[in-house]
A and B are shown apart, each in its own frame.
Chain A
């Protein structure tokens, strides 16, 4: 009898520790993905500055490749359960996982296209590819999968 009460208490303590642990883990992954998104934003700013200054397109290419390196990690940064916590991620990420994955792929494809355009040395082509990546890659994903900012 007493033993079963101990078991209940043990189960409650263990359960709450575990769920606290998973909340902490979710907070960690939320912080990580927010930092990654900010990092990609910084790369985009760098590209804008370089294009505006008619600077070296090799830099633009390097920025685009950095974005791709970060982008490849993005799907794993939205594990099930990480919708709870200090996040602006919308539930659509988890209810429409295939759509989310393909939006990330599209953004990666557009970053790849920007790297290629910059590699070709054509400023006009790189500028157009930059606009496409921003609007359809970054913005396209935010449109569907992130709460409006404000």
Chain B
């Protein structure tokens, strides 16, 4: 059955560019940049659809290399600081709606590869980004320094020598660029905090800020431990659950932009990490 699934997925692979993907492009897909920073009917990455939350509306900005309205004037160091520290080039802190707490765990080399991809492979589009429209007191960015002091403590992802290379690659991609925990872990402080590292991927029942997301731990009862590797590969490629249901919502965007277009062996690494009991 596993082999059969592999054959089916290889056939499906005809539809997607897969093999021999550069690191920057892989991270670009898996980071899911497009899910938030692109909107339907507009050029890619020129700014996303409004993100409506109970705190107000965020407007994901233009991240094309346009010098006036995008990130064309940024230096590599500006980009590294934005991703690894959550600080804009002008020194102001980002809201954690931008999942920099996960991106901060990526290696410097990977961030540089992603920067090169964004600079060289994305067409510049001139489109100004509207400011966020948040309610008081969340509208005051100064408060974010307190948030950072309380919650922002990025831990680099160390390889586990007891596991094989595929598992470690999968763990890195899930925890860093893939930022899966941002939705699939319960968040501390009723959603105001960070994904709870003690309950990694144990599902979010819905809090004051973020919506529900199912548990994706290897637990057979509460998580996806009953799924075969083929089931999970199928899900990450096409969005189809073992019951034949097809996801909608945010996860459909993740499949479309992130887990669908990546090479088969990268998906296999993610599957290996997610399904191996920890």
Residues of A near any B CB (own CB < 8 A): 37-38, 40-46, 48, 51-54, 123-124, 127-128, 131, 134-135, 138-150
9 contacts between A and B (CB under 8 A): A38-B243, A41-B243, A124-B14, A131-B238, A135-B238, A143-B252, A148-B213, A148-B251, A150-B213
Complex Cα–Cα for A46 and B240 (A): 12
CB-based closest 5 A-B pairs: A142-B248, A41-B244, A148-B249, A138-B246, A45-B244
A62 to chain B, nearest CB (A): 15
- Residues of B within 8 A of A (CB-CB), count: 35
B11, B239, B244: which contacts A43 (Cβ < 8 A)? B244
Q: Is B8 in the interface zone, CB < 8 Å from A?
A: yes
Given contacts A48-B234, A124-B11, contact A143 B248 (CB under 8 A): yes
Of chain A, the residue at the smallest CB distance from B212 is: A150
Q: Is B21 in the interface zone, CB < 8 Å from A?
A: no
- CB neighbours (8 Å) of A44 from chain B are 240, 244, 246
Complex Cα–Cα for A44 and B240 (A): 9
- CB neighbours (8 Å) of A131 from chain B are 12, 15, 238
- CB neighbours (8 Å) of B248 from chain A are 139-146, 148
- CB neighbours (8 Å) of B243 from chain A are 38, 41-42, 45
Complex Cα–Cα for A34 and B203 (A): 24
Known: A44-B244, A135-B246, A139-B246. 20 other contacts (CB 8 A): A42-B243, A42-B244, A45-B244, A46-B244, A48-B8, A48-B244, A52-B5, A128-B14, A131-B12, A138-B245, A139-B248, A142-B247, A142-B252, A148-B212, A148-B213, A148-B248, A148-B250, A148-B251, A149-B247, A150-B203
- CB neighbours (8 Å) of A37 from chain B are 245
